[in-house]
């Protein structure tokens, strides 16, 4: 049962009353009761025996999730967000996507929960909603915190933060860590190159996951964490990349490479690299086609880097790489 303010309670009833998806928690019932303390509002979800993802990422957890399980959770969460953003009659912005709002059922399927601050997306022809901030600051996109600009790309940013939680096993902010390691995004930004990647991997995963697959998930996270909202991919595009990563891992023993699949990602700016002359050319306002089968061995600029300072091995066709 969940007790919360009337507005959030009503929003959640309205949202969960119309959405039906295997990666969104089911609303079993709701009620209100007038007590000595005032009106008490309740929601009853379907029973999720394995609790929240946050519990299992905690260092106190006795059942840390395996790498394959973390990828499955990333896939399920992306499915849920893509449904809210792109598969309903009206776009719904979750607005409070975080690990504690991802619940796990008896089969360890992940489902999004707590839609109390969800919002209908902008009207056709508009890019965002201007609104007061609600949600969790540590997961919120910079344009939403600073200017109140809310769009589905705000959820995409939150998803990028969540991916780094999966990789590191750390919270977005942990004041129990040394000063330089307390803020997750600042800390991982120093180590997202392949040669340093082992520094950020959850120690409980040691020896159970390949650096290539971790680098691939880092690449996806960095695409989600582009500074400019228009540079971030849509959740359906993110889901395509996560599906490709999981598919590539399941086919690592096969000598036959699957056929190339391409998706497109919006970028405010892109850079093409002439590999022979080691020269870069900057382009603006174009869409980039990404070979999702190359993501396993590719590197994109880390979130702390605004433009490439040296040649990089790009996941993008014709050696193109996204920059913010």
First to last CA, the chain: 42
Q: Is 291 a catalytic residue?
A: no
Residue 121 confidence class, pLDDT cut points 50, 70, 90 = confident
Question: Which pLDDT score is estimated for 29?
Answer: 78
Q: What is the pLDDT of residue 284?
A: 52
The residue assigned the tokens 């490479």 is 257
Q: What is the domain-level CATH number for residue 257?
A: 1.10.510.10
- Paired tokens of 87: 């598969």
Question: Which of the residue ranges 79-88, 99-108, 239-248, 283-292 would you say has the lowest mean pLDDT?
Answer: 283-292
Looking at the domain assignment, is residue 1 inside a domain? no
Question: In this structure, what DSSP letter does residue 306 have?
Answer: S
pLDDT for 105 equals 95
Name the catalytic one among 34, 55, 76, 96.
Answer: 96
Query: CA 149 to CA 164: how far, in whole Å?
Result: 24
Tell me whether residue 280 is in a domain: yes
Query: Number of structural domains, the chain?
Result: 1
pLDDT per position as a tens digit, 13-72: 666 666 788 999 988 777 777 777 777 777 778 899 999 999 999 888 878 899 999 999
Q: Which string of DSSP letters, residue by residue, matches 41-69?
A: EEEEEPP-TT-BHHHHHSTT-SSPPPHHH
Residue 125: pLDDT over 70: no
27 vs 14, 47, 48, 55, 210, CA distance in Å?
A: 10, 10, 12, 22, 38
Which region among 88-92, 125-129, 146-150, 254-258 has the lowest average model confidence (pLDDT)? 254-258
pLDDT value of position 6: 66
**% the chain with pLDDT above 70:** 69
Task: Give me the domain span that covers residue 261.
Answer: 6-323
The answer to whether residue 304 sits within a structural domain is yes
CA dihedral for 238, 226, 74, 316, sign (positive or negative): positive
Q: Is residue 52 part of a domain?
A: yes
Q: Which of these, 253, 241, 252, lies nearest to 298 by C-alpha position? A: 241
């Amino acid at each position: 049962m969940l007790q919360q303010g009337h507005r959030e309670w009503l929003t959640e009833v309205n949202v969960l009353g119309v959405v039906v998806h295997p990666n969104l928690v089911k609303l079993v019932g709701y009620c209100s009761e007038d007590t000595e303390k005032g009106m008490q509002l309740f929601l009853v979800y379907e029973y999720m025996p394995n609790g929240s993802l946050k519990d299992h990422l905690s260092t106190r957890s006795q059942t840390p999730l395996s790498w394959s399980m973390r990828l499955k959770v990333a896939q399920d969460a992306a499915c849920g967000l893509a449904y809210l953003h792109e598969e309903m009659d009206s776009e719904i912005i979750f607005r409070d996507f975080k690990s504690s709002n991802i619940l796990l059922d008896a089969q360890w399927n992940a489902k999004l929960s707590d839609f109390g601050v969800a919002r209908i997306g902008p009207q056709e022809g508009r890019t965002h909603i201007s609104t007061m901030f609600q949600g969790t600051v540590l997961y919120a996109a910079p344009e939403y915190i600073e200017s109140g600009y809310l769009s589905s790309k705000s959820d995409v940013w939150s998803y990028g933060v969540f991916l780094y939680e999966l990789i590191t096993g750390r919270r977005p902010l942990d004041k129990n860590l040394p000063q330089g390691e307390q803020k997750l995004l600042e800390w991982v930004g120093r180590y997202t190159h392949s040669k340093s990647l082992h520094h950020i991997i959850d120690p409980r995963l040691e020896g159970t996951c390949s650096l290539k697959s971790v680098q691939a998930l880092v690449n996806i996270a960095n695409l989600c964490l582009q500074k400019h909202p228009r540079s971030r991919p849509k959740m359906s595009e993110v889901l395509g990349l996560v599906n490709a990563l999981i598919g590539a891992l399941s086919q690592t023993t096969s000598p036959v490479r699957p056929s190339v699949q391409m998706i497109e990602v919006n970028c405010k700016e892109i850079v093409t690299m002439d590999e022979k002359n080691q020269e870069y050319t900057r382009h603006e306002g174009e869409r980039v086609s990404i070979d999702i089968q190359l993501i396993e061995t590719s590197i994109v600029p880390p979130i702390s880097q605004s433009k490439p300072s040296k040649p990089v091995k790009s996941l993008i066709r014709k050696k193109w790489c996204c920059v913010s």
